[in-house]
Structure formats: structure tokens, C-alpha cells
Structure 1
Amino acid sequence: MSRTILIVLSEFGYWGEELVGPLAAFDRQGYQSVIATPTGKRAHALPPSLDPGYVDPPLGRSVTTPEVAVEARRVDESNRLDDPLSLADWIPERPYNSADGYLRKVEAYYRELGRVADDIARYDALVIVGGSGPIVDLANNGRVHDLVLAFVRAGKPILAECYGIACLAFARDWEDRASILWGKHVTGHCKEYDYKDGTGFFGVDFNMGPPPYPLEYILRDATGPDGRYHGNVGKETSVIVDYPFVTARSTPDSYPAGEKLVEVLESGLRRYGW
């Protein structure tokens, strides 16, 4: 069965392995992968993610093998990432309450969202690739939130990696503001693996120092008392499936996360890793 996967990338840098890991699984299955970015700009890999000699400070070792570095560079320099879909052109932006003619504008917003719900019928799953870039233009992007909610309402699976998982925690219906992760089991970048210094972004000469938010704390709160965050500190990989969500902690989880999403689609996998 031919399937199509929508992959959202940050315009401020994605981690190479976190794209090529899922892509490898999708290509093997013969899936079509469609790339989207917030404003339609071409995405690029974060330079450290293409360097097998780069030592990850919290882990004290390289997290990119020479083989993955070659594949990530090949994909990053190919035409696969050219001409991405623009979320800004596709998904409406919710108007400010202070906008002139607010009621008419919000009615138009909901009409356009209905068309987005129809549009995603062509996609079988959504992937949000991680890295530090999503901190800037995906995590608190209302259009990304509406896209996530459309997939959730359609009962379609979503794979999110690393800091891309923040999009799931923040994607909430404006009526009740309830977390879509409430009662779910997820993984994500744990506090022990966060940088103390050096968080950077593609195309910006700016060292943020540590990440601006500890993703682990956000996920612990978002899942509530009946769900759970799984850091799996010390374990080489951490992938959790709690349908419709597939979450991957960080770089080494990218390949197994892609394989688990394929199992979700092809074999009906609904729970894994907890």
C-alpha cells in the first residue's frame, strides 16, 4: 500500500540523523515523504550533526557515526528538501482578539481550518523532526499546533523527536486548553542530556547557552498523573509508542522511531516501550 508522510522541519536547523533515520524506514517501505517548513524556506541540517568528530557535551562522546554523517550530508545537499510546503501559506493564523472585525476573522479562521482537515486526508502520518531549531519556530507555532490537532482528530499517528516533542505538549484546543498528551506515555530530551552551554541555531550567530526550557519538565506536567514521561537515562535508546504518538528521545532513537512508525502503519502497533 502506498503511503504519504508529511515531515515538518525547522528553518533554524534540524539534527541530521533525526531526519535520515525516519526517512530510511519510509524509503524502504516505498512511502512518499513530503517536506514542510514554517514559511516555505529550505531547511538545513545543523553543522554539528554532520560532523562525526563533534563530541556531545552531556554524553562526552560523538553521537554521529561516520556512516550517518555521510547519509545526512547526502540528504541535506540533495534536492529532497527543495521547495517545501509552506505552513504559513497553507494553515490560517488565529487572529488576535483585539483585531478589527474579530468575529468575522475568527469565523474565517475556523472555515479555513476545516479545509486543512480535508487536506490531510492525503497523508498517513505526521513527523516533527528534532534538533535545536524547533525551539525557535516550531514549539510555539500556532500553525504547527493546528496541524498536530488535525492529525489527532483524524486519528492519524504522529512521530515527534527530541525538542520537536514540545509541539505536542503545546498543541491544545483553545476551548479547554487541555494537553493532548494527558494520560499518555512519552519520552523526550531528558534534563541530564541538556546542554549547559552551546545551544545554537542554523543561520544565526547566537549561543543561547542552555535550552530555554527543560523539555522533560514540560512533558512530565503535560502527561499528568495517569500518564508518564520516560527519560530512560543511561539506556542507549528511548522510543515510546502510545497511539497516536510515537516519541523519540534524541539522536540515536531516530532510526528505531522510524521503524516503529512503520509498524504502527503496517502492523497496527499501538503500544511499545513501557
Structure 2
Amino acid sequence: MAKVLAVLSNGYTDEEHNYVTGWWAEELFAPALELEKEGHTVGLASIDGGKPVVDPLSLSKDYDPDGIYKKQYESGMADKTTPIVDVKASDYDAIMIVGGHGAMFDLAHNEDLHAVINIMYELGGIVSAVCHGPAPLIYTKTREGRGILEGLKVTGYPNANEPEEVVDLLPFSLEDELSRIADYHEEKEQDAYVVWGSKQILTGRDPQSSQLFGRELAQKLTQRELKTEEKLVD
């Protein structure tokens, strides 16, 4: 079946404000489970490789009351990632950029990640991101110089939900930057919200949307695999 590359933040620390962030546990593990249910495989990458920093809040009782994601994290499932410079984009059918505030710091402007995204996109792969994961997509431009999200319907973590204590510590507003180049939607009345901006671009709003996000990606990849098999039979 399909191969998916999940990209995680290596983390960010602001010692002056006692602020530590990284990737958000639910936004990796919930989609990964949906993908694996469909028979797809998930590989992990980060900018620097090695063990990326998980946002400690995502493993807390407030956000993981049953300890589901903490257990998966402690099992070592996300201990090893490939440096993004060593990733061969053509080996994958989709890229999934995991959220967490960390994505806004080390993933957003990384040119090596932008290159992997572009190659995968040009080869017809699916580019997906959840919560703060769309951060690098904002700054990814195609070979022709067009923004990869330009004019598309997208979603991502809304300003209204950002914790007051971290707003001034963030490098930019995700909602504002998405709205600048794309057609941003929040859909407040829905518990979970994802949107296909095109047949190749999928975004999810927040941690609560992670499972639906993963299911949508998994099903789309399965449909593609089946169509490919049908063509081969014909």
C-alpha cells in the first residue's frame, strides 16, 4: 500500500520565558493509526533527525486524559527520525506535517523541507498538514514561484484558540498568514474539521481533527492504490 512521510518538529525552547514546545502527540499518533488501519506505512522525518521534542502539554492529563498518546510516545514509536536532507521524496506517496507550535519555528522556513514538499507535489503525491502543520506550506513555492496554497481553501489552528500566554512568543500568526495567501476556514460549529483544497492538498484544523484528518488521508490513498491496480489489470 502507500507510504507516508510524517514530518515532526525537533522542538523549540525559550529559556527566558520557560517555554518549551515541539510536535503534538495526538497529531502524529491518531492519523498514523488511521493510516495503518488501511494498510499504509508511516515513516518519520525531522529537520535534524534523531529524537524530536514532543510538546509536553500534549502528553498531559488535560490533553491526553486517558494516557493513550503518552503510552505510544513512551513505547519509542517516535524516537527515531530521518534528517529531512536524507529523505528521498520519490519513495513516498504523501507527506503529513504534524502540528504543534514547534512547526512554526523550525519547519516553517526550512528550504530542505520545502524542496521535499515540492518534489512530492510535482510527482502527484498528497501534501497534508494538521493544526500548526500548515506553517511550512505557507512559505513553500512551486518551481514557477507560485505559493503551493495560493488561492486554495485551507484550515489550521485559529487565532481564537491560541493560549494568551504564548501568543507573543510565536513567530507569526498561523491564521493570519494562511488568510494572506489562501481561503482560510475555521468552521467553529464542527467538532472536527478538515478540508481538501485540491485533490493533492489536505489540511486539518486542530488536535480534535487529527483522527478525521488521518482517515481522510488514508482513504484517499487507498482509492488511489485501487485505481492504479485497476489500470494495471486493464
Q: TM-score, normalised by structure 1?
A: 0.73
Match of 1:222 among 178, 181, 206: 181
- 1:159 Cα deviation after fit: 1.5
Match of 1:51 among 60, 72, 95: 60
- 1:247 Cα deviation after fit: 0.3
1:81 and 1:198 mapped to 2: Cα distance?
25
Match of 1:203 in 2: none
Q: Indicate yes or no: 2:188 matched with 1:233.
A: yes
Counterparts of residues 1-274 of structure 1 (less than 5 Å): 2-12=1-11, 13-53=22-62, 64-67=63-66, 70-88=67-85, 90=86, 119-173=88-142, 176-198=144-166, 209-223=168-182, 228-242=183-197, 243-267=199-223
Code of the aligned partner of 1:28: K
Deviations 1:204-244 (A, max 9, x none): xxxxx453211111111212xxxx21111343222111221
Between 26-35 and 146-155, report the one with greater CA deviation: 26-35
- Structure (1 or 2) with the larger CA radius of gyration: 1
1:5 and 1:176 mapped to 2: Cα distance?
26
Match of 1:105 in 2: none
Code of the aligned partner of 1:126: I
Code of the aligned partner of 1:153: E
1:163 and 1:210 mapped to 2: Cα distance?
15
1:241 and 1:180 mapped to 2: Cα distance?
13
Q: Give unpaired runs (5+ residues) of structure 1.
A: 54-63, 92-118, 200-208, 269-274
- 1:176 Cα deviation after fit: 4.6
Contact 1:7/1:129 (8 A) holds in 2: yes
Code of the aligned partner of 1:193: N
Contact 2:4/2:92 (8 A) holds in 1: yes
2:50 and 2:72 mapped to 1: Cα distance?
16
1:133 and 1:45 mapped to 2: Cα distance?
9
Code of the aligned partner of 1:229: Y
Q: Give unpaired runs (5+ residues) of structure 2.
A: 12-21, 225-234
2:68 and 2:116 mapped to 1: Cα distance?
29
1:171 and 1:11 mapped to 2: Cα distance?
19
- 1:138 Cα deviation after fit: 0.2
Measured on the aligned residues, the alpha-carbon RMSD in Å equals 1.8
Over the matched positions of the two proteins, sequence identity in percent amounts to: 27
Code of the aligned partner of 1:8: V
Contact 1:194/1:211 (8 A) holds in 2: no
- 1:76 Cα deviation after fit: 1.4
Q: Secondary structure at the match of 1:182?
A: coil
Distance change in 2, residues 1:251/1:187 (3 Å): same
Contact 2:10/2:102 (8 A) holds in 1: yes
Corresponding residue pairs, total: 213
Code of the aligned partner of 2:75: S
Q: TM-score, normalised by structure 2?
A: 0.84
Distance change in 2, residues 1:120/1:176 (3 Å): closer
Q: Secondary structure at the match of 2:166?
A: coil
Code of the aligned partner of 2:121: V
Contact 1:194/1:210 (8 A) holds in 2: no
Match of 1:202 in 2: none
